[in-house]
Amino acid sequence: MRRYLIAGNWKMHGSRDSVGRLLQTLKTIVHLAPHVEMAVFPPFVFLEQAQQLLTDTAIGWGGQNIAISPSGAFTGEISAPMLRDFGCRYVILGHSERRTLFGETSEQVAMKCQSALATDLTPVICVGETLAEREQDLTDQVINQQLAPIFALPEATTILSQAVIAYEPVWAIGTGKTASPAMAQAVHAKIRERIAEHDKKVASEIRILYGGSLKLDNAAALLAMPDIDGGLIGGASLNPEEFNEISKLCSN
């Protein structure tokens, strides 16, 4: 059985104070069922706080990006071994904001997956179509293209057996619009099918999260879908009570 993953993408939000309060509250209220996993993704500068406050709790933490290289002359970048040094177990890769605002390519995302693997970080690989692409019926094609450079790697099977996929339709991110449960389920099933062409066992085990305006009021229906194994949650993850309530839905 696949374990649910409820992941909070904090993006570029928070201060030392607010992060401290959020983590303290979360730590006090969260009691996870055995089949639910939870992780938060604060901005890099707050990872030490996450490590201090979350060590020995059931809540994991990770970074929102990594550099391709483990070290070197790359001003402004943060590497996978650095995240490990701060106790991270996960890293978000290829978020649509990285792809659209910072020009990150699917080839770079694949190289970052190699870097994550080398450092034993679980990559949360984000894919998803824009509204224009959906309207032209290009969703599956776009996602296949985003995943293609990963499938082309010699270590693709190992990477995918350790990875999590997050389907995040770009038109739903931060907009208050959500994919309907049926719409999301259809895309998740296609992603699993595509992975099964590569490796059936990996496809049955890999977790595929939904992201894009996932909130307490729409989470139950989405999380009940057979191929939705959790959520990558932006806005609603900054409210610890709501985030915790979403994780509790996975216990039912």
Contact 131, 91 (CB under 8 A): no
Query: Among residues 94 and 202, whose Cβ is nearest to ligand PGA?
Result: 94
Write down the catalytic residue from 97, 104, 129, 168: 168
The upper half-sphere exposure of residue 200, i.e. CA atoms within 13 Å in the direction of its Cβ, equals: 0
Min. distance of Cβ 72 from ligand PGA in angstroms? 29
List contacts with ligand PGA (CB under 6 A): 9, 168, 173-174, 211-214, 232-236
Q: Has 188 been annotated as catalytic? A: no
Query: Among residues 156 and 237, whose Cβ is nearest to ligand PGA?
Result: 237
Contact 207, 229 (CB under 8 A): yes
DSSP state letters, 140-206: HHHHHHHHHHHHTSTTHHHHHHH-EEEE--GGGTTTS----HHHHHHHHHHHHHHHHHH-HHHHHH-
**Alpha carbon distance, N-terminus to C-terminus of the chain:** 15
Query: Among residues 39 and 156, whose Cβ is nearest to ligand PGA?
Result: 39
The tokens describing 239, both together, are 């409210």
Write down the catalytic residue from 37, 95, 97, 188: 95
Query: Among residues 114 and 213, whose Cβ is nearest to ligand PGA?
Result: 213
Q: Has 48 been annotated as catalytic? A: no
- Residue with the CB atom nearest ligand PGA in the bound state: 234
User: Which residues are known to be catalytic?
Assistant: 95, 168
